[in-house]
Amino acid sequence: MTNCSTCRDEYDEADAEAVKWHTENVDCGQSCRCRDRPRCYFCRGSFCYCAAH
């Protein structure tokens, strides 16, 4: 198990989907808080929702 530095949750590094969720950057094409952050980053009411939060 690995601790995510973004959301602090543990995830299984052997689970490809979990690794993607916690490490792969989102490129929403707009200059918002979640741009270039992992999918697990929570926008907290940003005008832009790059992933399903």
pLDDT-derived band at 50 (thresholds 50, 70, 90) equals low
Is pLDDT larger for residue 43 or for residue 13? 13
Q: What is the pLDDT of residue 37?
A: 86
Q: What is the pLDDT of residue 49?
A: 60
Q: How far apart are CA 13 and CA 2, in angstroms?
A: 6
Backbone torsions φ then ψ of 36, nearest 5 degrees = 65, 20
Token pair, residue 8, equals: 């602090």
Nearest C-alpha neighbor of 26 from the set 47, 9, 51: 51
pLDDT one-digit tens code per residue, 16-39: 999 999 999 887 766 777 778 898
Q: What is the pLDDT of residue 53?
A: 46
Q: How far apart are CA 23 and CA 29, in angstroms?
A: 18
The residues spanned by each domain of the chain are: 1-53
